[in-house]
Each structure stands twice: as C-alpha cells, then as structure tokens.
Chains A and B, each alone.
Chain A
Amino acid sequence: AQSVTQLGSHVSVSEGALVLLRCNYSSSVPPYLFWYVQYPNQGLQLLLKYTSAATLVKGINGFEAEFKKSETSFHLTKPSAHMSDAAEYFCAVSVGGSARQLTFGSGTQLTVLP
C-alpha cells in the first residue's frame, strides 16, 4: 500500500521568498506523484504530476517539484511567493500506472505574508 506524508500542516513565507512544501511518499512500486492546490471555496486543482519521465517537473503558476527516489521525496518549490499563492496544498500518490485512486497527504496550508 502507498502513503504520503506532508511535513508541516502550516507554512508561512514572506511575499517574494522561496516556497518549499515537503512531501515524502511510500510505495512498493514506482509511483505517480501529484501536487494539488485548493483555493477557498474551490475544488482541487492539479499543479503538476510526475509520471516517471523527467525527475524535475514544472507545473502551473511557477511551481515545480523534484522526484528524488533515494529520499522518497517530491517536494514542491516556487522561487518567489506571491500573495495569490495562499492556499492549501496536497501531495498525492497513485500506483499501477493510472490516477484512478489517489492517496493524499494531510495537506499544508500556505500563508503568504506581505
């Protein structure tokens, strides 16, 4: 069975600062990894996904994540935070070559300070 751990339920950064949201996964087979974002009163929106191609994945809104098999990590980064990045972020994993059943982490609430 697969699992996801997100370190830090709340992260605060200053506007313009680096955003780093941590995600570690556990999977007995090569995983597919995802980052989703949820803005208030909206559904989850896919930021990016790793599907065993390039280990550095670029997503929308300037976010990217690097798959590190040796560390079983898939941390999300953005060089410069914007106020509009304030939201809850979820890391998720699926196995078996499809996205049919996503296993999510507990989420990280990102606050961007002016």
Chain B
Amino acid sequence: EAGVTQFPSHSVIEKGQTVTLRCDPISGHDNLYWYRRVMGKEIKFLLHFVKESKQDESGMPNNRFLAERTGGTYSTLKVQPAELEDSGVYFCASSQDVAGKQFFGPGTRLTVL
C-alpha cells in the first residue's frame, strides 16, 4: 500500500513568488491534514479536510495560504505571495476516519529567499 506522498520534496523560491505544494493521501482516506514546522519549532496544525470539505482551518496563518481538495482526493496548498517567514517544512497526513491514526508524508521543505 502506498503511503502519503508529497511533491515537491524541496522548493526554493523568492519572496513574492507563488508556490503550490501537493499532497496525495493514502487511497480511501477521507481525512487529510496539513501541518507546518517553521525554523525547527513545533509542528503546527494548519487545516483538516474531510473529503473535499474544510472541516477545520483554524491553523491557517493568513489569507496568503489557500488549500484545496477538489474531488476529495489529492490536496494542494498554495502560498501567494510567499514571505520569508513561510520557510519551513510542510507536512501532510491522512487518516481513514477522524479518530484514526494519522499517516504522515515526508514533507515539503520550502525555502523563501
């Protein structure tokens, strides 16, 4: 069974540019989560999808971040325009049900110069 995959593994962009991160959850997992770890600090929750619906987006830092999950399969997280403080590792996780174990992807390391 394939795990959670994320693309790209690394992204280096300049301040003001746009970046789109992609997450492919485990097949059949309705729940998809985005987390972020900035500058070696805590991993922080960003948002939670149930199928294509945003169940909880309380962790999204500001309106420069837009997450989508069209069709309830893969998800994208767009940062536009990127700022220096957006640098960090973005993790995606999926679970079969809300109370279930979350399976994490390897993360996308974003560097904003």
Binding site for B on A (CB under 8 A): 4, 36, 41-46, 49, 90, 92, 97-107
Complex contact B107–A43 (CB within 8 A): yes
From B13-21, B74-82, B94-102, give the one contacting chain A. B94-102
Complex contact B102–A102 (CB within 8 A): yes
Q: How far is the CA of A112 from the CA of B42 in the complex (A)?
A: 23
Among A43, A49, A100, A107, the residue within 8 A (CB) of B3 is A43
Among B3, B4, B42, B98, the residue within 8 A (CB) of A98 is B98
Among B43, B56, B58, B95, the residue within 8 A (CB) of A99 is B95
Chain B interface residue count, Cβ-Cβ cutoff 8 angstroms: 29
Interface SS majority for chain A: loop
Nearest to B100 among chain A residues (CB) is A99
Binding site for A on B (CB under 8 A): 3-4, 31, 33, 35, 40-45, 48, 55-56, 58-59, 91, 93, 95, 98-107
Among B31, B43, B102, B103, the residue within 8 A (CB) of A90 is B43
Complex contact A42–B100 (CB within 8 A): no
Given contacts A98-B98, A99-B98, A99-B99, A41 and B106 within 8 Å (CB-CB) = yes
What is the distance, in angstroms, from B33's C-beta to the closest C-beta of chain A? 8
